[in-house]
Structure 1
């Protein structure tokens, strides 16, 4: 069996340096770390987990929480893509992920108590619910954490630039000649829903376009059904909008279905633009114009931020806003 001493002999570095590199200590240069990790891979070195836990005082486990209101859990496209990127970034340093059960085995333990009991080194939370008390308790605690899709001053957070993305959407519709522009919004209890509606209103005001109450419709929790129901309401107006900015791609798909059922066409009769750029957006007909969230970058930045806290043993309250971009496809047209 290959030992840490074999790695040290092969690379010419001390056992201490090799150990620090393997455990991602900050006082080892990237060049040295790269050489050592390459040797680890070449020699198929597998550290004993119990020994490593004792020597480093780490469990090498990161807790994962996902809080959403649709009840679809890991199948949610945003969560799936972000956590996959996060996993790829932390597994390089041999961390395992521990997903919190939604009911925590029927106990009354909070997320914080659960992860304290399991001895995780840190926690990543995907949560849009600004009112979730258990998440807020965890964010305020000294346990290293990073929260995705939420803004906070008590914890490190990573989120997309929702306001700029919404402005890009409205400006795109405006550039195509649309002046009656409506918004299917995410639920007001969600951070993304609030920010995207705020961006919509700001863009409309900057373009000197009227913000009509009946043109802002609640699409609930970003589901296809929510988008479908909201579009039905917009279609019932005496003077419907010609362009609709939808706060999520799933809702946009539901909105397109409602338009078709009413005997209209996208983009001939209505232009639709979504937000997220989930995989199916480029596969539906018409292919959906949308605002792309960089889920790979969100996951990577979240991992870096959490590992920094774990390694320095210091709770950080950094905020990282990840840029978004417009992806033009076929669901909008010039009028």
Structure 2
């Protein structure tokens, strides 16, 4: 069994650094090159996380014989984030690790991993048994991939194309849960920081699940104020849910004549950026403004104050995507849409509602 100490020796860093990198601690000061070297070395040495070691002690899965026989199955992962972008977003690292771990259990080879640094060469998908599409992709890209690959599985994204399997969390429902809770806790002027793609028109600009749910919740109460929505824009959706965007958009909300008393961030990274903007404004969290976000990445609990966030099961989403893929390879000829539950984790960045 490979140890953290052996990985540290191979890379030339301390065991503590390796542990913090593999646990996605974003507070660690380490170069991206070194961080990537640690992750790649761990993967090359087949380092098993505590969870994987625990699973190894369990009885083997009762996998259908067809999947055992089809050891030549090749799976492609088409990711909406470039490798360097994924490294700074532990949530999507978790989704990918869930896919890879489940593929190993099924003895399925991951043939290639595509990323948006270069256009996807559709010819390279020829002969691929199935493709797991991670994150937000335009409909035209999905349709093009479907022409050359027999099975597409959507992970953490529902393209509103019912013919394809998908697994995700209901971010709209999760947003409503957050807003209901903030209202119960006494917050009345709630802001939102999120993002959209430059290619989106005005209708689609507000069509992202969290954004749409935020608007609908306020409109139902007659309290919607457009100035309390701050949306970053970029060429790709994944590029605008970053620390920098959260910082800039939170600054714009705090500059209002009447700033919000709570900010909902589209993910934890944006919330970290919002923390900086609030602190620079000389304001206190949560006394002056509360912050709530999505994902519950490992660093969330170590912020000051610890971040209240909606836990999204990223690794499980990856695992279920592979389960759906295996069902397709074993003959299922109808689509499945799987919605996994979320869980609100209340910490020090917001007042906890009285009924929770």
TM bucket (normalised to shorter chain) is 0.7 to 0.9
Gaps of 5+ in 2: 1-61, 234-239
* Offset of residue 70 of structure 1: 9.3
Q: 1:115 aligns with which of 100, 109, 125?
A: 125
User: Which has the higher Rg, Structure 1 or Structure 2?
Assistant: 1
- Structure-2 residue corresponding to 1:133: 140
- The one of 185, 188, 206 equivalent to 1:176 is 185
Alignment match of 2:212 (pick from 181, 186, 198) = 198
The secondary structure found in structure 2 opposite 1:282 is helix
SS in structure 2 of the partner of residue 186 of structure 1: strand
Query: C-alpha separation between the residues in 1 aligned to 2:95 and 2:207?
Result: 18
| Residues 1:323 and 2:330 are matched in the alignment | no
**Pairwise CA RMSD:** 2.8
TM-score by length of 2: 0.71
Instruction: Report the equivalent of 1:31.
Output: none
Tell me the residue number matched to 2:56. Answer: none
Tell me the equivalent position of 2:290: 271
In structure 1, C-alpha distance between the alignment counterparts of 2:315 and 2:243, rounded to whole Å: 24
Equivalent residue number for residue 156 of structure 1: 165
Shift in CA distance, 111/147, structure 1 to aligned 2, threshold 3 Å: farther
Q: Give the match for residue 17 of structure 1.
A: none
Pick one of 146, 151, 165 that aligns with 1:144. 151
**8 Å contact 2:128–2:149 — kept in the other structure?**
no
Matched, 1:224 2:243: yes
The normalised TM-score by structure 1 is 0.75
Other-structure match for 1:14? none
Does structure 1 retain, via aligned residues, the 8 Å contact 2:123–2:148? no
Matched-pair contact (CA < 8 Å) for 1:144–1:309: yes
Other-structure match for 2:79:
66
What CA distance in whole angstroms lies between the structure 1 residues aligned with 2:232 and 2:267?
Answer: 9
CA distance change for structure 1 residues 100 and 279 in 2, over 3 Å: closer, same or farther? same
1:65 Cα deviation (Å)?
1.3
CA distance in 1, matches of 2:243, 2:316: 26
